[in-house]
Amino acid sequence: MFQDVESVASIRARAEQRLDRHQRMMEVLTAALGRPRTVYVTLSIVVGWVAFNLLTPKLLGWQRIDPPPFFWLQGMVALSALLMTTLVLITANRQTRNAEERSHLDLQVNLLAEHKVAKLIALVEELRRDLPMVRNRIDREADAMQEAVDPDAMIEALAGASETEPVDE
């Protein structure tokens, strides 16, 4: 059990080691942007920008840096949105790759377990047939369970089932 936990941890550690410096930086930035304080900081900057450009000329007599409709503010917000979206996509792509690797590993482990279970059922059935004190009988379910699942046949069956299902529009 403990070895299994260590194996899972080592898989995660190897995935983290594959990250280069730039990817790590993107992950840190994405994590920082995904916090509630980012909303508060963004709102504070926007309110401060608008207040500065509306109140400074009246109070101090200075010229506005960005008069309404706040062209520069709109440009900064658009650029920030573009950068945030790109950061989130970069992080999501890496997480998708990791999820696909874990899914592939899960499939391999499940297929191996399937083969082991089928072999165990076959051995138990053989033992049942060989024991003189156990009544010999035909068990179609046990016979079927002795055969391991064929992944290719399963994929074809799933594809056929999805083709026959009606599509809700």
- Decide which of 96 and 168 is more confident: 96
Please tell me the predicted confidence (pLDDT) of residue 164.
65
Quick one: what percent of the chain has pLDDT higher than 90? 27
**Are 118 and 147 in contact, with CB atoms under 8 Å apart?**
yes
Please tell me the predicted confidence (pLDDT) of residue 77.
95
Q: What is the CA radius of gyration of the chain?
A: 31
Residue 168 lies in a domain: no
Residue 52 lies in a domain: no
Residue 39 lies in a domain: no
Domain count, the chain: 1
Give the pLDDT band of residue 107 (cuts 50, 70, 90). Answer: confident
Please tell me the predicted confidence (pLDDT) of residue 1.
56
Give the Cα separation of 157 and 154 in Å (integer): 5
Q: Can you give the length of the chain in residues?
A: 169
Residue 98 lies in a domain: yes
Please tell me the predicted confidence (pLDDT) of residue 84.
93
Residue 18 lies in a domain: yes
Give the pLDDT band of residue 37 (cuts 50, 70, 90). Answer: very high
Position 6: which residue type?
E
Most confident of 124-128, 138-142, 144-148: 124-128
Within a 10 A sphere around the Cβ of 53, how many other Cβ atoms? 19
Residue 125 lies in a domain: yes
Please tell me the predicted confidence (pLDDT) of residue 169.
54
Give the Cα separation of 110 and 84 in Å (integer): 38
Please tell me the predicted confidence (pLDDT) of residue 114.
87
3-state secondary structure of 102: helix
Please tell me the predicted confidence (pLDDT) of residue 85.
94
Can you give the residue range of the structural domain that contains 26?
A: 2-33+69-163
Residue 17 lies in a domain: yes
- Decide which of 165 and 39 is more confident: 39
Residue 46 lies in a domain: no
Helices (H), 34-150: 36-60, 71-130, 140-145
- Decide which of 63 and 5 is more confident: 63
